[in-house]
Amino acid sequence: MPSMAARSFLVALLSVFIMAAVALAGGKDDIMAGNQAAQAGQFKKAEALYSKAIASKDLTPANLAVAYNNRGSARDDLGRTKAALADYAQALAIDPAYAEVYYNRSYTYEKLKQWDKALADGAKAAELQPNDDTYLQREHYLRSKAKGK
């Protein structure tokens, strides 16, 4: 049977692991809650939750890229295009092969009527995900709009 000191040490060690696990879940939980808020059209709440996830400093690089991408989308929905573009740039700095960021950013550039940039992003998303019909259709649409500008 372990001594009282050994049991205390094991309890303390277990507490550290549990707190670390809770902290790691925190940022991801905030991303998930942000996704739910965004789906409900609560873009300010979603933006705040994604910001909280980013500030948590406990996300993996892949999840951090997701948080920046999703916050960019929320900010774009709020009409904050410069902030959205900054978030998309952060997401791509972390993961340059994250196709969804290019796809989302193409919509922001479209709103700004920056057709060449929108098309470049749409084409990059389709290049990165050549079997995704959504990305391919977006690229096709942007090509037709860029021709007519």
pLDDT at 20: 45
pLDDT at 25: 55
Written as tens digits, the pLDDT of the chain (149 aa) is 555 544 444 444 344 444 444 444 589 999 999 999 999 999 999 999 999 999 999 999 999 999 999 999 999 999 999 999 999 999 999 999 999 999 999 999 999 999 999 999 999 999 999 999 999 999 999 999 888 76
Residue 117, both tokens = 């940039």
Residue 64, both tokens = 């951090």
Question: What pTM did the predictor assign?
Answer: 0.81
Domains annotated for the chain, with CATH where assigned, are 8-95 (1.25.40.10), 97-149 (no CATH)
Q: Spell out a b/e string for 105-131, using b for 16 or more CB atoms within 10 Å of the CB, else e.
A: bbbbbbeeeebebbbbbbbbbbebbee
Residue 140, both tokens = 């096709």
pLDDT at 13: 39
Place of tokens 């997701």: 66
Using an 8 Å Cβ cutoff, are 65 and 94 in contact? yes
Residue 37, both tokens = 């808020």
